Amino acid sequence: MPRSERPYRVIISGGGTGGHIYPAVAIANQLKAVNPEAEILFVGAKGRMEMTRVPEAGYKIVGLWISGLQRRLTLDNLSFPLKVLSSVRASHKIIKEFKPDAVVGVGGYASGPLLYAATSRGIPALIQEQNSYAGITNKLLAKRVDKVCVAYPNMEAFFPAEKLVLTGNPVRSDILDSHLKREEALGHFGLQKDKKVILVIGGSLGARTINRSVATGLAQIVEGGYQLVWQTGKAFFPEAKALEQQFEGKGIYAFDFIKRMDLAYAAADVVISRAGALSISELCLAGKPAVLVPSPNVAEDHQTKNAMALVEQEAALLVRDTEAGEKLIPTTLQLAQDEQAQQRLRRHILKMARPNAAADIVNELIKLIG
């Protein structure tokens, strides 16, 4: 049967954090929209977040025995070469059995072995880099793949210029129309209509510095007459829940994880967030005034570079992690009181949105298959 008449078969590989997983799922959903009979297999790292999140999204996933190199000497580092060899061998087996028309890498541990195995077999390959500073896996793979889809301009420092396509980051499609859901959002979270809402998102795993800063500033938030929707991550959730009960009836709502992020953005007037690539892309699409607190615990400090891409366009405010305890809540409350500043940030951040990212990436993928 000719290529154009049969369903596409695609492997999508990578994960580790929501910042890798959700773009991967968005790409898969878009591919299904274009080619409903498409067969899609995810390949992740055993024990990582993708092994539960991907099946929740309705896709099959296979796990590789792979992890990253630690910055200090550990037993894990000693087993790293063995894990790589094992994962490359397993990847060859997966590819031989699934027979993909193309593979997509979104970054994360599993992406490396799978794309290495695929490109060594001559299978068309595409990588999607979410950050303004490229991850090591994607940098190593760039010479082997056919296309590199990026979210920021000026990425020639990391990738061959002739392979670059500026697409933006694919995000969950429900974020696109979140501005139409405010009434539903207020009801969903039990919020009052006449009080402004501050949304706190520390990333899919939470953020200790942000959580601590918010915890110490709860009295100021309540005194200012604001409501708080607070995604804490699992580790901090028991402490946050105890604080919510302490301020019962004062508009403090803590969650370990928010599944309906479209409604969280719809409810929010101001957002406190880490500066992961996914969070920034969602903020751009939702058009929300944001105070960004880049995580210092990421390779090459890429979250600060992500944040500065917005700050330089007057599209967000920045509070450094080391200063969050002192500055985060005052900066946020000042923004929440300043309608003109909110409008300025909203106007500028919307200009940076790329709502067609998933479609553009899938178009590039189909060209490779075709």
- DSSP string spanning 266-290? HH-SEEEE---HHHHHHHHHHT--E
Question: Can you give the pLDDT at residue 1?
Answer: 44
Strand partners, 147: 126
Binding-site annotation, residues: 17-19, 131, 172, 204, 258, 303
Please state at what angle helix 75-98 crosses helix 111-120, rounded to 10 degrees: 50
Question: Can you give the pLDDT at residue 79?
Answer: 66
Nearest to 211 by CA among 290, 119, 129, 328: 328
Domain boundaries 174-351, corresponding CATH code: 3.40.50.2000
Write the CB contacts of 36 (distance below 8 Å, at least 6 apart in sequence).
Answer: none
pLDDT mean over 207-230:
96
Coil/strand/helix, residue 155? coil
* CATH H superfamily, domain 3-169+356-369: Glycogen Phosphorylase B; (3.40.50.2000)
Question: Can you give the pLDDT at residue 78?
Answer: 59
CB atoms within 10 A of CB 56: 9
Residue 280 to residues 21, 96, 101, 161, 311, Cα–Cα distance (Å): 15, 37, 32, 24, 12
Evaluate whether 84 touches 65 at the Cβ level (below 8 Å): no
> And the tokens for 9?
């078969």
Write the CB contacts of 67 (distance below 8 Å, at least 6 apart in sequence).
Answer: 45, 76, 80, 83, 109
Task: Measure the CA–CA gap between 127 and 72, rounded to whole angstroms.
Answer: 28
- Whether 3-169+356-369 shares its CATH topology with 174-351 is answered yes
**Greater confidence, 87 or 43?**
43
pLDDT mean over 117-125:
97
Residue-range domain boundaries for the chain: 3-169+356-369, 174-351
Question: Can you give the pLDDT at residue 86?
Answer: 82
Question: Can you give the pLDDT at residue 203?
Answer: 65
For residue 2, pLDDT over 60 is answered with: no
pLDDT mean over 201-230:
91
Residues 79-112 have pLDDT tens digits of 667 778 888 899 999 999 999 999 999 988 889 9
Binding-site annotation, residues for UDP-N-acetyl-alpha-D-glucosamine: 17-19, 131, 172, 204, 258, 303
Please state at what angle helix 357-369 crosses helix 18-34, rounded to 10 degrees: 60
- Length reported for the chain: 370
